[in-house]
A and B are shown apart, each in its own frame.
Chain A
Amino acid sequence: MKIILNNKEEILEGDKLTINELLKLKKYTFKMLVIKINGIMVKKTEYETATVKDGDDVMVLHLISGG
């Protein structure tokens, strides 16, 4: 499948992935993450069930200290 991940096109194997699978695959291990799929924020409790499919626009944002 082809998705947009943080504004870049990515080709991934399979036709869907859960959020947790995507995070593992892309080696995102940060604590304070925000994920949006097609503009909608995914709750942390849904990372095991919410899926990313072909054509989805996914944003992964890592919130870090400083301001």
Chain B
Amino acid sequence: MTFEQVKQILKTKTIGIAGCGGLGSNCAVALARVGIGRLVLADFDLVEIGNLNRQFYFYDQIGMLKVAALKQNLSRINPDVRVNTFDIRLCQSDIIEIYSKCDVIVEAFDKPEMKYMILDAVLNFLPDKYLVMGVGMAGWGDNNLIRSRKSDKLIICGDELNAIAENCPPLAPRVGVVANMQANAVLEILLGINENQIHSEN
């Protein structure tokens, strides 16, 4: 497929992104760049200075709602992407309502309790929906530990080992790798496996 053909398919698709921190903001940017049709973003937080070490926001956006700042940034990259924003702390019923029309849902929360909540909601109430999760990305280095695996319509990206800790902070490189891995998994779901590409064995 050429990039023009890729864009023709992607412009008809809607992706839900739950959380607009390090994973969500960077994943949204990657999907906007390749021409996704619509993004549905949700986050209740404001941009803080401490977010700028990994999240796709700018210094002059500190204090803005993340969803509003991200919408602004996405429109500066690709104004054709339609962006719907929800500045709420998502609960299960919100997830079911907001994301039921999306082609794929990207989990981009920071807290494990929230990750559990969305997984539980999607597996039990939206079983036909693909869910792409990010699990384990704190720290730096060890590129080869980061991977992805699939179980039916659930895809998990990350090292599944490194949680955030005082001495293991989340930083742009590893968080960005996992966020872009999630965006890459979304493309594979939407476009299928590219036959004109060399693939890994698993």
Contacts and interface: CB of A to CB of B under 8 A. Distances in A.
Contacts of B113: 32
A25 interface: no
B112 A63 contact: yes
Which of B22, B112, B158 gathers most chain A CB within 10 Å? B112
Contacts of A39: 151-152
A64 B175 CA distance: 14
Interface residues of B, number: 37
Interface in A1-49: 6-7, 31-32, 34, 36, 39, 41
A34 B119 contact: yes
Interface in B114-131: 115-116, 119-120, 123-124
Given A41-B120, A41-B123, A65 B151 contact: no
Given A34-B116, A34-B119, A66 B134 contact: yes
A66 to B, nearest CB: 5
A39 B109 CA distance: 23
Contacts of B120: 41
Given A41-B123, A41-B124, A65 B149 contact: no
Which of A61, A62, A67 gathers most chain B CB within 10 Å? A67
The majority secondary structure among interface residues of chain A is loop
B22 A64 contact: no
A24 to B, nearest CB: 20
A66 B163 contact: yes
A50 interface: no
Contact of A67 (B21, B116, B119, B161): B21
A7 B134 contact: no
B111 A65 contact: yes
B108 interface: yes
28 contacts: A7-B149, A7-B202, A34-B119, A36-B123, A39-B152, A41-B119, A41-B120, A61-B135, A62-B135, A62-B160, A63-B115, A64-B135, A64-B161, A65-B110, A65-B112, A65-B163, A65-B164, A66-B134, A66-B158, A66-B170, A67-B19, A67-B22, A67-B23, A67-B24, A67-B110, A67-B115, A67-B137, A67-B170
Interface of B: 19, 21-24, 107-113, 115-116, 119-120, 123-124, 134-138, 149, 151-152, 154, 156, 158, 160-164, 170, 175, 202
Interface of A: 6-7, 31-32, 34, 36, 39, 41, 57, 59, 61-67
